């Protein structure tokens, strides 16, 4: 009998992370959801209803003691780690001009989005080497293009892309490391109940994408599942764009 594999998904209580956790659970994985939002984590664990294969650990991934504790909790519960998905991220404050951006806000965004990936990798590597596992980091199309006044988020996600290929070179061949960069993903129905909305997107929202629609968490989860699988055994150090072709579309004002 094939042993059940175990994955840690950071930021797994809401949005894209919840979509990834849900798909991997359905695929037979043990899933340790790591998230700073304890209410969202408890709600997601209850909704996914897989108590024997699901663990939630409230964690601030920018804090090394927190990270060490959550990795130990996953090992104690499931006996090992086969994969790590670094999805935790913040995008606050929104659109503050660089000349008035507080250093604390810059540091918080970098701390969660980039340092969190580093710390989780640091404390999972020894376990992943034993299982010849894989890491997938979640960046963003903002690593390659920007809107005005989004310096902390764009810089953090650019760092995630670079960290991913650096880790791939450092940790191979035992551990494969890849990155996914989602574009516009509609996560509103994947938030905790107090934040969930169901307002319809506009036709023009979908029309901006060459595929004809805005993305969903399932779109990202499908690629992550592939990158963690043996089918992706010859893939490492890559950044996969999951954006419906939006970053390939030239936009001119008529």
Per the prediction, the chain carries an average pLDDT of 94
* pLDDT at residue 235 tops 80: yes
Query: According to CATH, what is the number of the domain 6-248?
Result: 3.40.50.720
pTM assigned to the model? 0.95
What pLDDT sits at residue 29? 98
What pLDDT sits at residue 253? 72
Residues that are catalytic = 153
What pLDDT sits at residue 1? 37
Residue 61 and residue 156 in contact, taking contact as beta carbons nearer than 8 Å: no
* pLDDT at residue 94 tops 70: yes
What pLDDT sits at residue 91? 87
For helices 64-78 and 116-131, give the axis angle rounded to 10 degrees. Answer: 30
Q: What is the pLDDT of residues 202-217, one digit of tens each?
A: 988 898 899 999 999 9
* pLDDT at residue 2 tops 70: no
- At 164, phi and psi to the nearest 5? -65, -45
What pLDDT sits at residue 138? 98
* pLDDT at residue 93 tops 90: no
What pLDDT sits at residue 163? 98
Q: Averaged over 44-49, what is the pLDDT?
A: 91
- Distance, in Å, from the CA atom of 40 to the CA atom of 190, rounded to the nearest integer, reads 10
Name every residue whose Cβ is closer than 8 Å to that of residue 136 and which is 6 or more positions away in sequence.
83, 84, 85, 86, 177, 178, 179, 180, 224, 227, 228
Q: What is the pLDDT of residues 108-139, one digit of tens each?
A: 999 999 999 999 999 999 999 999 999 999 99
- At 242, phi and psi to the nearest 5? -120, 80
């Amino acid at each position: 009998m094939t042993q059940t594999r175990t994955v840690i998904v950071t930021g797994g209580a809401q949005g894209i992370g919840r979509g990834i956790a849900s798909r991997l659970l359905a695929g037979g994985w043990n899933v340790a959801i790591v998230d700073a939002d304890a209410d969202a984590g408890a709600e997601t664990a209850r909704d996914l209803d897989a108590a024997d294969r699901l663990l939630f650990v409230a964690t601030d991934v920018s804090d090394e003691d927190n990270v060490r504790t959550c990795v130990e909790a996953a090992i104690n519960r499931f006996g090992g780690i086969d994969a790590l998905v670094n999805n935790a991220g913040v995008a606050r404050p929104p659109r503050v001009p660089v000349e008035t951006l507080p250093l604390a806000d810059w540091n918080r965004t970098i701390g969660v989005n980039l340092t969190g990936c580093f710390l989780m990798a640091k404390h999972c590597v020894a376990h992943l080497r034993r299982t010849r596992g894989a890491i997938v980091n979640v960046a963003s199309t903002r690593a390659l293009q920007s809107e005005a006044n989004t310096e902390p988020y764009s810089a953090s996600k650019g760092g995630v892309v670079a960290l991913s290929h650096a880790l791939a070179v450092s940790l191979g061949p035992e551990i494969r490391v890849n990155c996914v960069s989602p574009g516009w993903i509609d996560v509103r129905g994947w938030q905790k109940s107090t934040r969930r909305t169901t307002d319809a997107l506009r036709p023009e929202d979908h029309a901006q994408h060459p595929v004809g629609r805005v993305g969903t968490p399932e779109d990202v989860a499908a690629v992550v599942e592939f990158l963690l699988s043996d089918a992706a055994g010859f893939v490492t150090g890559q950044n996969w764009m999951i954006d419906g072709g939006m970053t390939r579309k030239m936009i001119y004002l008529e």
